[in-house]
Every structure is written in C-alpha cells, then in structure tokens.
Chains A and B, each alone.
Chain A
Amino acid sequence: MPWTKIYGSRTEFEKALKDTPGLRGITYKEAIREATAQLLASDKSVFVIGEGVDDSGGVFGTTKGLQEEFGKERVMDSPLAENGVTGVCVGAAAAGMKPILVHMRVDFLPISLDQIVNHAAKWNYMFGGTVNVPLVIRSIIGRGWGSAAQHSQSLQAMFMNIPGLRVIMPATPYDAKGLLIAASRDGNPVIMIEHRWLYDHVGHVPEEMYEVPLGKASVRRSGKDVTIVAVSHMAHEAMQAAEALAAEGIDAEVIDLRTLKPMDSSTVIESVKKTGRLIVADTGWKECAVGAEVIAKVAEAGVSLKAPFMRVNLPEAPTPASPALEKAYYPGKDDIIEAARKTAGHGERKA
C-alpha cells in the first residue's frame, strides 16, 4: 500500500507520485491541519484550543487558517494556563464536547499532569462508565538549535504508564491524519505526540476522512534477520538504517508502532518469532519506557531469541544546549545500524 511507505526524501516521493497516478501527496503538518478541519466541519462537538492556535504560523502550520474558517468560538487561543485549560477541556469533554487541545511542546504537559492523570484518565472508570472523556491532547517534541532541557523532551513513557489513557505517535502524513481522526472519535483521552522534524515529511494522504485504527502497528519493511521496532522520527531513522543494512546483507524488518498504548504486541511478537532478533528505537529515554515495554511483551510471550534484545535511546541525561553536546546526545540511523550489526553477530545468520 502506498500510504504505508516511508519515503526517504522528497525526490523519492515525487517520483512515486509520478509513477502512481491518482495518488495525492501532502506534508505531515498539512495532514494534521486537514484532519482537524474535517473534524471541525463534520462534528459540531469538536473544537480546537491552545496557545497560539490562531497565530499566523498556526502551530507549525497545523492549525493555520482554521480560525478564519471555523470562527473564534471553535478555534480559540488560550491563556498560558496549561493545567487549568486542560481541566477545562476535560470538563467540556465530560459534558459531551470533543476538544482538541494543542500544547506547543511536550514539555508543557507536566503542568497539566493533574488533570490528565487524576481526572481525564480516571473519569470513565471511577464512575462506572457513566461519563467518558473524548479528548485529544496534541503536543510536540522539539529538537535542535539549542532547544535545551525544557523544550525538547519525549515524555511518551510517562503517559504509557497510566490506564485510561491512549498514546499515539504517528510517523507519516497518512497516519497523522488517520490517527487524529480516530483519536477524536475514540471516546477516550488520547495523547498524540508529534515530532517537529516530521512536519515537512511528505506522503500519500487521501482527501476524504478515514481512520487509522488505534492500537495497530505498521510493518514498514519486511525482513528476516532482525526486527527493528521504532516510533515517530525514529521510524524514519530505522528505514534508512534498514537500507544501509541491506547492503551489508542484513535483512531488517521495520515495525512502526504508531500507537504506544494500547500496544500492538502481536505484530511485534510474530516478527520476532521470524527473525529471532529485536532492536527497539525510541525518541525518548531508556528506563521504564517504550523499549522496555516492547521487550517485556516479547519476553512474556516466550519467543526464543538468537541474540539479546537491544535498545536505541537518548543517553541518561536531560538535553544539553551546546551544539557539541547536542550532536553527541541524539541517536540516529548509525546507532541502529550498529545495534543491528551487534545482534546479527549473534547466532547464525542466513545470507
């Protein structure tokens, strides 16, 4: 399927567009904007709120022009009151609305934790399913140019720990649109985490509304030697790593998790049964996080392995500002390649 493909570059994508008539290509940010516009148009209970959503830049283009199109009542700027406004959205959702709340950075979510963890995540259960909270919280991972410790965090793992929440991290324009639409209709609080570096990625996106089901991973590349499970921006790094590995005779299978909670463990388990080797590449820190959870699920399934599991993560430190340290901080395709070589060195490998 063309939309399950991750394109390495714009030229590669443009070539694909030419070769496949009838397909339409837009960027990740345009896909989010389109999904939001269609949700607003098709469902009166949807509204958008967040700091700067009405700004001329429109949150990196993802909300651009929406206020002009749908009015100030449905697309509204917010005071800098993250916890309070998150609570306002939780309350509006409990009362039947479907808010899409935008936080410019993941780093501002910790201010809202009380409303997310103690309220949004609990409401459905605490009252025996009487009142649900159909809320989407979008937020963005920053990176580069000295963003530093308070403007670049990948905090997905924190949310994965909380029953009652769903967590999604789309890596492609197709998934960004389909998952956002599915999230808004899901009826539960969904934390959607976007990576800033994905906004200009292009891919196939149908014009009509569609859903990408929550809780379903996507096999981006099939292979038989090693399974690389990746999320968000790391899915792109993993694809590039897989290309490089192919030249060395290592055939990698790349799985993009897309949804972290609930996690599609069966797709991963099936793959590792085949390859016997597993690497997990995440945008965040290592301990008690995505990699730990994927590995635990595979271990619990009793899959027999040819090599120890490996994880590619951020080093155990906050983000440094200096370009010299920033460069050393972020793992990428080379670290995935390195990990794959290591695991492939274990046990016999079919050429």
Chain B
Amino acid sequence: MKEILSKYGLNTLTKKILLDLYRSMLRIRMFEEKIVELYPEQEMKCPVHLCIGQEAIAAGVCAHLFKNDYVFSNHRGHGHCLAKGAAMAPLMAEFYGKETGCSSGKGGSMHIIDAANGILGTSAIVGGGIPMGVGAALASSMRDEERVTVVFFGDGAFDEGAFYESFNFASLKKLPVVFVCENNFYATNSHQSARQSGCRISESAASFDSRGHCVDGNDVLAVYKAAQEAVGLGRKGGGPSLIEAKTYRWKGHVGPEEDWTKGCRPKEELDYWKEQCPIKRFSNLLLEKGALTTEEMEQAKSAINAELTEAVEFAKASPYPHASRLLEDVYHKAGK
C-alpha cells in the first residue's frame, strides 16, 4: 500500500483514514440504494436526485473538514451532507416529509441542512449555492475564524454567471473557499459539450489567479490528495481553489431509475462507468494490498446497515407536521 500511497504523495496516510474513506463512500452508497429500494412505495413524496457513482468526491473532500467548516451543496446533496457528518435519520425523515426531518418537512430532498455540522443549506437553483458559499467564507474571514468553506456544484453550474462572479470575489478577497465541481458530464440530459465550448473547467481557475485541480473523481485517493492541497491552502489564508472531479451519475437525473432505457444516455457509457465504480476500485485496492481485511469491511457495512435501518424506522414512524405549521418560519423569530 505504501508504494501506491507515495505515488499519490500521500505517504503519511494512516489505516484509520483509509477505513474512514471507505466507510464514508459506502455509507453514501447504501443510503442512496435504500432510497432506490423504498421509493416505489411512494411514501417519499419528493423528487430525489441520487449520487450513486459519485461518492468518492464527497468522501475525499470532506475527509479534510472539521465540524465547524462550512459546506454548501445543491439538488444532488445527500452525499455531501452525509460525508460532512450529517446523521441519516433527519435526512430520511425529511424525504418522508416528516416533522422530525432536518428541515421540519418544509424542504424535502432538495433542501437539506445540518447547521450543527456546518451545512448551511442546499439550493436547488443551479449555481445558487456558489455565491452563498463565498459569503460564508467572507463571514468566517471577517471574524478571523479558522474555517474553510467547501462549495459542491455540478458541471451545469459552471455554465452560470454566478460561478464567475463568485470565484472572482473569493479570489480578490483571498477567501478560504474550495470550489468542488462534480463533473458528471451531464446537466439533466444535456451533455457538457452541448453547453460548454472548452470543457476544461479546472483551467478557469488560472484567470482568477488560483489553483485548479483536475482529478479522476472516481479515485478517492486522487480526490483526497487534491482536497488536501486545496483545503490546506485555504486554511493558510492562500485563497480559493477549484477542484474539477470527473465522474458519472448512474441513475437518471431525478428518481431511482437508470435513464438509458428512456434514451437519455447510451447504455455503454453507463456500463463503462460502472466498471469505474469508486467503491469497488478502492476496496479492491485495499484488499489486494492487504490494507484492510474483508472482516473490517463487513464490520463497516453492518454498522452502516444498523444506522440505516434505524433511520428508515424513525422516518416512517415520525408524524407529519401539523397543518398549523404552514405559516410558521416564514420569518425569523427572535430567540429561536
């Protein structure tokens, strides 16, 4: 394993971190697969945007974050929140529209939050979270806090003007921001090449005097390494960085089904990317090099299963918000 790690420039990586990365990816995968399993029951009455196939990015980036670091995310945000430390139960309850959900049932799957873990909300307006993330970084820098803000967004958000305005501002003010672009090559069914002339997202960082990393987003160690540099730079006051992580979403844009059946994308493409499964690649490597044992992996799996079972039970058993809650929370109330 040492040899492999040194190739990534990660010589000091401990076994604990390797296990954590594995666990983090698996936790996201199992959570999303549980949704796939339960969604046909039609009790989760909200659109779900699943990130199966993209787990390495959230896991590899969030491995560098402390509890008080900020994360902003988008419509495809389950993985980001889980990797940042959100518990499963309040998320699941939110998808079920329950009072105990992380947003009290007001938000649904596109609007999840965990303020105690630094997740200040997820916007379903493409690009909407990017300037907000920069704003949070501005706040922490004005208060002299040692916080880094990570903004997750897709290749679609790279089309939006908000990205450029925000990046420029972050760079101008040397804010501790890491822009993480999950390039899965599609925005709904529209390919990157139908929307962007260059298709070189990471290179845009140069015009903002910043560092751009382009990594294999299905290689958790590559993501981890890039994030180590980017987060480290932010913490040192070196300003923002951009990580473009190339990956692929296995499911349709929204919902639990694959979309090649509807002719949205070629099946061969999906087959290729399934071969590139970030979890399979990493676990094969770990086993091959003897870095983790099958038992250790099984243990991780059953612990996640326990959390998941509990989360689903909690979500299903929780009450719906009473209709009287409808007009609550439109405005902030002092003391809440």
**A77 in complex: contacting residue of B46, B190, B263, B327, CB < 8 Å:** B190
| Chain B min CB distance to A329 (Å) | 6
Q: Kindly supply a per-residue 1/0 record for chain A positions 70-89, scoring 1 wherever the CB is within 8 Å of any chain B CB and 0 otherwise.
A: 00000001111111100000
**B263 in complex: contacting residue of A56, A78, A111, A324, CB < 8 Å:** A56
B98 at the interface (CB under 8 A from A): yes
Contact B46 A52 (CB under 8 A): no
Which residue on B lies nearest to A146, using beta carbons?
Answer: B46
Contact B125 A322 (CB under 8 A): no
A315 at the interface (CB under 8 A from B): yes
Chain A residues with CB under 8 Å of B187's CB are 51, 80
Contact A150 B125 (CB under 8 A): yes
Which residue on A lies nearest to B157, using beta carbons?
Answer: A80
Chain A residues with CB under 8 Å of B195's CB are 77-80
What count of chain B residues pass the 8 Å CB interface test?
A: 44
User: For the complex, what is the distance from the CA of A148 to the CA of B325, rounded to whole Å?
Assistant: 15
| Chain A min CB distance to B90 (Å) | 14
**A151 in complex: contacting residue of B124, B160, B263, B325, CB < 8 Å:** B124
Interface residues on A, range: 35 or more
Contact B45 A145 (CB under 8 A): yes
Contact B326 A325 (CB under 8 A): yes
Report if A328-B124 is in contact (Cβ < 8 Å); known contacts: A80-B160, A147-B47.
no
User: For the complex, what is the distance from the CA of A55 to the CA of B194, rounded to whole Å?
Assistant: 12
**B124 in complex: contacting residue of A77, A148, A327, CB < 8 Å:** A148
Contact B108 A108 (CB under 8 A): no
B262 at the interface (CB under 8 A from A): yes
Contact A317 B161 (CB under 8 A): no
Chain B residues with CB under 8 Å of A320's CB are 105-106, 321, 326
Chain A residues with CB under 8 Å of B46's CB are 145-146, 148, 321
**B326 in complex: contacting residue of A55, A146, A150, A315, CB < 8 Å:** A315
Report if A324-B105 is in contact (Cβ < 8 Å); known contacts: A55-B188, A79-B196.
yes
B109 at the interface (CB under 8 A from A): yes
User: For the complex, what is the distance from the CA of A145 to the CA of B255, rounded to whole Å?
Assistant: 12
| Chain A min CB distance to B95 (Å) | 8
Contact A80 B159 (CB under 8 A): yes
Within 8 A of A (CB), among B296-334: 320-323, 325-327, 330
| Chain A min CB distance to B92 (Å) | 14
Chain B residues with CB under 8 Å of A316's CB are 327, 330
Contact B160 A81 (CB under 8 A): yes
Contact B109 A146 (CB under 8 A): yes
Chain B residues with CB under 8 Å of A324's CB are 97, 105, 320-323
B111 at the interface (CB under 8 A from A): yes
User: For the complex, what is the distance from the CA of A149 to the CA of B330, rounded to whole Å?
Assistant: 11
Chain B residues with CB under 8 Å of A243's CB are none
User: For the complex, what is the distance from the CA of A83 to the CA of B125, rounded to whole Å?
Assistant: 13
**A321 in complex: contacting residue of B106, B127, B190, CB < 8 Å:** B106
B189 at the interface (CB under 8 A from A): yes
Which residue on A lies nearest to B154, using beta carbons?
Answer: A80
A293 at the interface (CB under 8 A from B): no
User: Which residue numbers of A lie inside 8 Å of B, CB to CB?
Assistant: 51-52, 55-56, 77-84, 107-108, 111, 145-151, 315-318, 320-325, 327-329
Given contacts A77-B194, A321-B108, 18 further A-B contacts (CB under 8 A): A56-B263, A83-B161, A107-B125, A146-B108, A146-B109, A148-B46, A316-B330, A317-B327, A317-B330, A320-B105, A320-B106, A320-B321, A322-B97, A322-B320, A322-B321, A323-B320, A324-B320, A327-B323
7 contacting pairs across A/B (C-beta < 8 A): A52-B188, A55-B189, A79-B159, A80-B195, A324-B105, A325-B97, A329-B326
The 8 closest A-B pairs by CB, nearest first: A146-B46, A321-B108, A322-B97, A322-B105, A324-B320, A79-B159, A328-B323, A146-B108
